[in-house]
Structure 1
Amino acid sequence: MKRVSRPLAAIAALALAAALIALGPSPAAAISPNLPASAPGIEYTAEPGDGAQRSSNGKGAAEMPTTPDDPIAPWLDDCLGSQDAKDSDGRVYNRFKWCKEFDLAVKYYKTENGKTVLKGVNQATYQAAGLGYNDSRATRTFFRIKPGTVRYTTWSNLEKLTTSKYLKLEISAECVPGSDSPGSGCAVGRSPAKMEWDQWNNFGGWVYWDVSSAGGKGEDFVAFHKWRFHFDGTSPGWPIPEERGETGPVGIRCDSGNYFKHGTRTYPHACIYTGAEPVLTYKMSENPEVGQHIRDAQNAPDTTWPKEDHPKKIPGKWNASVFLRGEPLHRVASRYEGGVIAKENEDVKQMACGQKRAINPWGPRYNATTGLPPYAPGLECDEYPFSSTHEGAADPEWDFSVRAVSKNDNGSAGSKLVNFYTDDRILMFLDDFWVDVVDA
């Protein structure tokens, strides 16, 4: 059996260099070229060629939100409220969403009597988030200082009033040098955003940047990149030795697979966040017959049809523990898309279901004893693993299960599988995925 490795990019721990140091927990945002400043205090530092590489969303760039939360399907508070978001690498909420909440600090020094003296430390909790485009090779990265979290420590009382709050903090998103896949490139189409610390403290809004991808390998032009936020607290009269500070890298994968669609709408390009393991979840309350079939196939395969002359082994079972998890499934082109593997899977399934109309209705591979017994008209023969997987009925390395289920349940479950392939951006042959059945 072919086995593919899971390309999950590791996200390194946060490291702020020298005078910029990382403290405890906090989430994210960024800024795009043609939009006006959303607060009077924001400055954008122009750089050579800046603003020319904004990614183009197929729906029109204006439809990508300018804040990371979704008013229809809120997710950000849930993401930021988790302990994982407080870790240095943040939380991959799902394949298209990432968040983080962490602390940053900038130490300010002065030279007095020939000695370098620490005058004060400005600290803040920042929030960050990322939304992958589903029809463009880009992700939008968001950043803000969590309102009311700026702290001024070590400063004298006079300097707190006259100096600390008026120093500048510059934020930018950038591609991590040397992290791109061979033959691909990463770009950010916006210069840094800069405000005084007190302005960041009261701003409350999000700034954002689009991180875009080009190139890649294979038919789907798959490329892996890492991006990060860069902090700079340098202010006039307050130089900071080795002032560069940055968060740990965040991994994304971009592709140009042309087989993703919902109805007539296609999604030929996308970037997703690596680190989330795709799981197709069926609820027993919604698909009781197919759900029970999959449960039995995963947990008690020898009780299922067809009968084999050896203990059956069926892959795809999800478990949070890698030690209890089944081998993953891998998507292939469906028979409706002309997929050869899927057609072979369908042929073997029909033999097991008794759908071959030859002398032996179970075909040459099964018979009345080993194949699925005749079932009532109006029912359909469901198979697991799915015919659109490499591990389907024709795979010599794995076994499979068939069962008669109602047409409505079978059709509903099939639609969820098709939607899952697009919603979780499951690349053919490349992505591991699992199946879970839950009661609620």
Structure 2
Amino acid sequence: MPYEDRLSACLDGDAADKGIGRVYNRFTYCARWNLQVEYWEIDSKGVPVEKARTASAVWRVFGQGDAKDRRVRIFSQIEKDAVDYDWGPIDNIFVAPGVPLSLMGQCSQDSDVCGAGPGSYTLPWATWDNNPIWANWDIHNREQNSEGRDKISYNQWYVEAFTDNEEYTTLNRAETPPRLMRCDSATYFN
């Protein structure tokens, strides 16, 4: 779980809801976006055949840097009671809440520069809408591709939202704006 005091302090700031989010300090980042996911029904071969509708929510992301390791732990969740469906009156109640949504942390660069793990967290929309638990990933930066005495290196990370099951797919995965991560292996910091 994120450190509650840093999470509150960061998300309560002005910039968390604007642009690419808020850098609270050199180890803490947060953002809140409006997420919209467009769903397509697929046939038995996995080919999209008809747009089903959309689901939307408020998507929160929190990043906490590690002062002793070359990594950032990224947390993400759907804000409680923030989900809306545009599937029609009956399907808004009986279909859309049960459709799965996956969130997954990713690196923008190749795996020789950085890595993200574990894999995706997949829950039905109704569960995301009422779930206080944060999905989380560690974004690791690889020291062997760094430079200088302090082994400085940069990479970018983002979180994506998608569905890919037997009934529905998202043709365009939703993604947070990529965020820059700077890592070093300096030993002289307190």
Distance in 2 between residues matched to 1:156 and 1:103, nearest whole Å: 21
Matches within 5 A, 1:15-414: 67-70=1-4, 74-110=5-41, 117-153=50-86, 155-177=87-109, 185-215=113-143, 216-240=146-170, 242-261=171-190
Q: Give how far 1:177 is off.
A: 2.6
- Structure number with greater CO (CA < 8 Å, separation at least 6) is 2
Q: Per the alignment, in what secondary structure is the counterpart of residue 92 of structure 1? A: strand
Q: Give how far 1:120 is off.
A: 2.0
User: Counterpart amino acid of 2:2?
Assistant: P
Distance in 2 between residues matched to 1:117 and 1:189, nearest whole Å: 33
In the alignment, structure 1 segments of 5+ residues that lack a partner are: 1-66, 262-440
Q: Give how far 1:189 is off.
A: 2.4
Q: Give how far 1:78 is off.
A: 2.5
Distance in 2 between residues matched to 1:189 and 1:117, nearest whole Å: 33
Distance in 2 between residues matched to 1:234 and 1:163, nearest whole Å: 16
Q: Give how far 1:93 is off.
A: 0.4
Q: Give how far 1:166 is off.
A: 0.7
More strand by share: 2
State the number of aligned residues.
Answer: 183
Distance in 1 between residues matched to 2:117 and 2:40, nearest whole Å: 33
Contact 2:65 2:72 in 1 (8 A): yes
User: Counterpart amino acid of 1:225?
Assistant: N
User: Counterpart amino acid of 2:129?
Assistant: N
Q: Per the alignment, in what secondary structure is the counterpart of residue 90 of structure 2? A: helix
Q: Give how far 1:116 is off.
A: 5.7
Distance in 2 between residues matched to 1:110 and 1:209, nearest whole Å: 29
Q: Could you give the per-residue CA deviations for residues 285-339 of structure 1, whole angstroms, max 9, x where no partner exists? A: xxxxxxxxxxxxxxxxxxxxxxxxxxxxxxxxxxxxxxxxxxxxxxxxxxxxxxx
User: TM-score, normalized by length of structure 1?
Assistant: 0.40
Higher CA-based Rg: 1
User: Counterpart amino acid of 1:230?
Assistant: E
Distance in 2 between residues matched to 1:150 and 1:235, nearest whole Å: 20
Contact 1:234 1:243 in 2 (8 A): no
Q: Could you give the per-residue CA deviations for residues 86-138 of structure 1, whole angstroms, max 9, x where no partner exists? A: 12311000000000011111122348xxx965432111101111110011111
Q: Per the alignment, in what secondary structure is the counterpart of residue 177 of structure 1? A: coil
Q: Per the alignment, in what secondary structure is the counterpart of residue 217 of structure 1? A: coil
User: Counterpart amino acid of 2:132?
Assistant: G
Q: Per the alignment, in what secondary structure is the counterpart of residue 160 of structure 1? A: helix
Q: Give how far 1:199 is off.
A: 0.7
Distance in 2 between residues matched to 1:110 and 1:211, nearest whole Å: 33
User: TM-score, normalized by length of structure 2?
Assistant: 0.88
In the alignment, structure 2 segments of 5+ residues that lack a partner are: 43-47
Contact 1:233 1:243 in 2 (8 A): no
- What's the counterpart of residue 327 of structure 1? none
User: Counterpart amino acid of 1:68?
Assistant: P
Distance in 2 between residues matched to 1:109 and 1:214, nearest whole Å: 38
Distance in 1 between residues matched to 2:164 and 2:10, nearest whole Å: 32
Distance in 1 between residues matched to 2:36 and 2:62, nearest whole Å: 20
Cα distance 1:236–1:116, how it changes in 2: closer, same or farther (>3 A)?
closer
Distance in 2 between residues matched to 1:239 and 1:258, nearest whole Å: 47
Distance in 2 between residues matched to 1:176 and 1:103, nearest whole Å: 22
Distance in 2 between residues matched to 1:117 and 1:90, nearest whole Å: 34
Q: Give how far 1:236 is off.
A: 2.4
Q: Per the alignment, in what secondary structure is the counterpart of residue 75 of structure 1? A: helix
Distance in 2 between residues matched to 1:239 and 1:75, nearest whole Å: 35
